[in-house]
Structure 1
Amino acid sequence: MNGMLLQKLKDHFGHDSFRPGQEEVIRRVLNGRNVLALLATGGGKSVTYQLPALLLPGITVVVSPLISLMIDQVQQLRAKRKIAAAYINSTQDQGEAREIMQGLASRKYKLLYISPEKLQQPYIQSALRRVGVSLVAVDEAHCISQWGHDFRTDYLRLPDAIRQLGNPPVIAVTATATSDVRDEIRELLHIELDDVIVQPVNRANIALDLLSVQDEVERREQVIGLIDELKGPGIVYCSTRSAVEALVATYQLSGKKRVHGYHGGMDSMERMLIQTQYLSGELDVIIATNAFGMGIDKPDIRYVIHYQMPASLEAYAQEIGRVGRDGEPGYAVLFYVEDDWLIHQHMVEKEYPTQAQVARFCQWFAAGHPVNAEACAALEMSEEMVQMLTFYAQDASGRSEVAAAIDRTMETPRQIWLEMDRRKRLKMQKLHAMRLYIEESAECLRKKLNRYFSEEERRFSLHCCSRCGLDKQAYRGDRNTGAGNKDENVWNLRQALENLLPKKE
């Protein structure tokens, strides 16, 4: 078996040996175990389900959170790995969807990427049952905790969908998860504690920096200067769309590099085009909200700048983990003004309903009114909030698997509101932990970050952090800003996306 695994690894992925944790995960999957794999960002998580897909008799279904992530991974599987893969998402027209379904029926594919919402659709479940599902992979599994309760409740319905597929083995993969998040994933997906494989979160090649600034003017000046000075491709993260747009506009007036903005309010095709340009080297820097970066396979990102503090240390670790996947030195710097945390506090307050809003929703729901755009307008709530309340208001018998997983039955408006309040307090606790991280102290930043994930590993390669000593000059330098690599597959995707965008007069 070992020789066959290594041969498949070399033939399809170009590696002579497994990275830490990969082989152990793959063997458990092939033995029919449900597995939770926590492998560091850039640690080769996708191989742990893509390689077994080649050896298992049926199809492997990959639950993926983002359309851009699906497209990127499927393009790579087809072009680089020579593996038959497809995706189903909401951007496809009827003809494309029909073609994919026909391909499924003829067993053309080994991997199918799909959103948790699409996987709930009965006709898709029926088609997959006929084909035979050998494995369900939940990519970026931390989304179960981060998003499942808040606005993508179909993550919490995954156990029911998996049962409809015949209860195949499940692998959940992520780069960062606290012990509480691990427990939540394990409970939902029925993973035994012995089948949790954890590799260190610590990224030894990334130096950590933390800079306090007096006001917005100073922050903007310093960040613009750093974008010009730092070498290699980079990402700048902002907390809000307005901050992204303001920083992009300011930089494009005087900056030296090819920069573009990216946030969830942009057209999906435009976002995919920008991502493709960045991957192909046609853009130097992306200034973005946290909507950008999940699953991005760009090994030479040299730095991440956080223009404002993130909402949690989980988000921070995920985002800086996009630096230096090629193993070369990278740099992560977090800027903050004393009151930055107020932005996130305000966003959390808006995200969850008040007790009065919950009561109004329950009256609407009990009266049998449809839960749709009309409901959002009538109740003066966001679509995400209505979706979340609908999940908790549903009859427990209709979602018994989920109810068992979270061990909670919501029968009254007060009980639902108490659950909303509990989850809001959990988010505020994460925000508080982020505030503690940025507080001025002499303690090593790497130690503080890794301790949050119950990890003692603190190795570093070039520099550790600004608390332990950091030569920033090592990360500065000029970069060739030519057109970059025109990989044929990426270039063709770029052209296709450009054709889909509306033409400007």
Structure 2
Amino acid sequence: MNRILLEKLQLHFGHASFRPGQREIIERLLSGQNVLAILATGGGKSVTYQLPALLLPGITVVVSPLISLMIDQVQQLRTRRRIPAAYVNSSQDPAESREILRELGNGVYKLLYISPEKLQQPYIQSVLKRIGVSLVAIDEAHCISQWGHDFRTDYLRLPDAIKHLGNPPVLAVTATATEDVRKEISQLLQIAQENVMSQPLNRENIALDLVRVSDEGERREQVLQLMDELKGPGIVYCSTRNAVEVLVASYQLQGSKRVHGYHGGMESMERMLIQSQFLLGELDVIVATNAFGMGIDKPDIQYVIHYQLPSSMEAYAQEIGRIGRNGQPGYAVLFYVEDDWQIHQHMVEKEYPTQLQVMQFFQAFKTAASANKDAWGPTEMTEEMVQMLTFYAEQTGLDQEVAAASDSGAEHVQRIWQETEKRKRLKKQKLYEMLRYVEDVNDCLRKKLNRYFGEEQVAFTLHCCSCCGLDRQAYQGDRTNTTNKKDENSWDLRQALEKLLPKK
């Protein structure tokens, strides 16, 4: 078996040997065991389920949270790895999805990437069960845990879906997981403690920097200068779409590198094009919200700038983990203005429902109108919020019959609202932990980050962090004259910038 694994690894992935932990994970999966693998960003998570898929009979189902991520990985598998793969998600019309499911039955594919929402559908479950699923891989598995920073209700329904598929072996993979998250994932997916396999979070080649600035103007000036001076390619993360647009427009007025913005408000095809350009080296810098980066396979990213405070330590660790996957020295810098936390505080308040909104949800639920947007009245209810409320209604034992028999529903409303409030408090706690990280100026940044995830490793290669001593010039290069020329478009950019900047 050892020889076969190495042959497949060389043939399809171009590697002569496994990275630490990969072989052990694969061998346990092939023996039918459930495994939780916590591998640092860039640690080779995808190999741990893509390679077993080639050796197992039937289909390997990969649950993936983002459409763009699915499309990118399937394209890479087909073109670079010569592995037959397909995806099913909401971007396809029903006829296209049915055709892929038909081809699955004919043995055309070895891997099927699917969203957690699609995997809930009884028809898809019945087709997959008939074909035979040999392995279920759950990517970004921290989404399954209510203790995780990016909890999604459809992930928590996965254990039932897996049972309907005949309980095939399960691999849960993630880059970041605290002890609480690990415990909940293991409990939900029936993973034995000895099969929780974790690699060190510490990335020795990444230097960590923290820069406190007094106001927005100073921050923008420093970040624009860094974008010009740092060796690239690189990513600049912003907390809001508006910050992305302002920074891109500001840079294009005076900078010389190829820079583009990326956020969830863009059309999906535009986002895919920008992502492809960055991967191919046609862009030097991406300025983005956290919508960008998950699953990005680009080993030569040399820096990540956090323009604003991230929402959690988990998000921060994942985003800086995209630096230096080729082992070369990389640089992560976080800029912090004292009131940054208010951005995320506002987002959290908007993300979770008020008690009035829960009452409106209950009334719509009671009349079986929860899928009808007109039933919500004038309150602002996002689709994600409705899904969350539906999930917590199910968790508290509420169904259509129970709701119909209830007069006011006050008790049910209170229980559902308490559950959402519990989740909101957890989000605020994670924000507080991130705030504590930047406010404590006397401790090593690497120690604080790793300690949060229960690790004590602090080794580094070139530099550790700004607290321990850091030569920023080591990560700077010559200004790159590429394609962003100042031409007749500068006036249009200046007008756009004036509209985006806050009025004084």
- State the partner residue of 1:303: 303
- State the partner residue of 2:349: 349
- State the partner residue of 1:250: 250
Give the direction of change, closer, same or farther, for the CA distance of 1:432–1:396 in structure 2 (3 Å limit). closer
Equivalent position SS for 2:197: strand
Taking the TM superposition and a 5 Å limit, the aligned residue runs for 1:23-38 are 23-38=23-38
How far the C-alpha of 1:149 sits from its partner, in A, is 9.8
- State the partner residue of 1:277: 277
Equivalent position SS for 1:296: coil
Q: Deviation digits for residues 128-154 of structure 1, max 9, x if unmatched?
A: 112100000001111223799988421
- State the partner residue of 2:491: none
1:318 partner letter: Q
Count of paired positions: 473
Taking the TM superposition and a 5 Å limit, the aligned residue runs for 1:50-89 are 50-89=50-89
2:461 partner letter: S
TM-score (norm 1): 0.90
- State the partner residue of 2:374: 374
Q: Deviation digits for residues 209-268 of structure 1, max 9, x if unmatched?
A: 000001000000000000000011100000011111111111111111111111111111
How far the C-alpha of 1:381 sits from its partner, in A, is 1.8
- State the partner residue of 2:163: 163
Pair 1:326 & 2:326 matched: yes
2:449 partner letter: L
How far the C-alpha of 1:183 sits from its partner, in A, is 1.5
Taking the TM superposition and a 5 Å limit, the aligned residue runs for 1:144-223 are 144-145=144-145, 152-223=152-223
Pair 1:362 & 2:367 matched: no
1:85 partner letter: A
Please tell me whether the aligned partners of residues 262 and 288 of structure 1 are also in contact (alpha carbons under 8 angstroms): yes
Please tell me whether the aligned partners of residues 239 and 310 of structure 2 are also in contact (alpha carbons under 8 angstroms): yes
* Percentage of matched positions with identical amino acids: 73
**Separation of aligned partners in 1, 2:475 and 2:214:** 24
- State the partner residue of 1:125: 125
Give the direction of change, closer, same or farther, for the CA distance of 1:479–1:103 in structure 2 (3 Å limit). farther
How far the C-alpha of 1:422 sits from its partner, in A, is 1.0
**Separation of aligned partners in 2, 1:29 and 1:168:** 10
Give the direction of change, closer, same or farther, for the CA distance of 1:440–1:298 in structure 2 (3 Å limit). same
How far the C-alpha of 1:377 sits from its partner, in A, is 4.5
- State the partner residue of 1:428: 428
Please tell me whether the aligned partners of residues 151 and 387 of structure 1 are also in contact (alpha carbons under 8 angstroms): no
**Separation of aligned partners in 2, 1:481 and 1:33:** 53
How far the C-alpha of 1:310 sits from its partner, in A, is 0.3
C-alpha RMSD of matched pairs (Å): 2.0
Q: Deviation digits for residues 465-501 of structure 1, max 9, x if unmatched?
A: 0011111111101376769xxxxxxxxxxxxxxxxxx
**Separation of aligned partners in 2, 1:151 and 1:123:** 26
**Separation of aligned partners in 2, 1:150 and 1:65:** 11
Moved over 4 A (4+): 146-151, 376-379, 395-399, 479-483
1:288 partner letter: A
Equivalent position SS for 1:20: coil
Give the direction of change, closer, same or farther, for the CA distance of 1:321–1:99 in structure 2 (3 Å limit). same
Give the direction of change, closer, same or farther, for the CA distance of 1:482–1:56 in structure 2 (3 Å limit). farther
**Separation of aligned partners in 1, 2:345 and 2:127:** 44
Please tell me whether the aligned partners of residues 256 and 481 of structure 2 are also in contact (alpha carbons under 8 angstroms): no
**Separation of aligned partners in 2, 1:150 and 1:349:** 16
How far the C-alpha of 1:378 sits from its partner, in A, is 5.0
- State the partner residue of 1:391: 391
Q: Which moved more, 1:187-196 or 1:60-69?
A: 187-196
**Separation of aligned partners in 1, 2:396 and 2:68:** 34
**Separation of aligned partners in 2, 1:164 and 1:411:** 33
**Separation of aligned partners in 1, 2:323 and 2:198:** 20
Q: Which moved more, 1:55-64 or 1:82-91?
A: 82-91
Please tell me whether the aligned partners of residues 361 and 370 of structure 2 are also in contact (alpha carbons under 8 angstroms): no
Please tell me whether the aligned partners of residues 282 and 482 of structure 1 are also in contact (alpha carbons under 8 angstroms): no
How far the C-alpha of 1:37 sits from its partner, in A, is 0.1
**Separation of aligned partners in 2, 1:377 and 1:384:** 17
Equivalent position SS for 1:308: coil
- State the partner residue of 1:491: none
Please tell me whether the aligned partners of residues 209 and 333 of structure 1 are also in contact (alpha carbons under 8 angstroms): yes
**Separation of aligned partners in 2, 1:377 and 1:15:** 57
Give the direction of change, closer, same or farther, for the CA distance of 1:93–1:356 in structure 2 (3 Å limit). closer
Equivalent position SS for 1:342: helix
Equivalent position SS for 2:172: strand
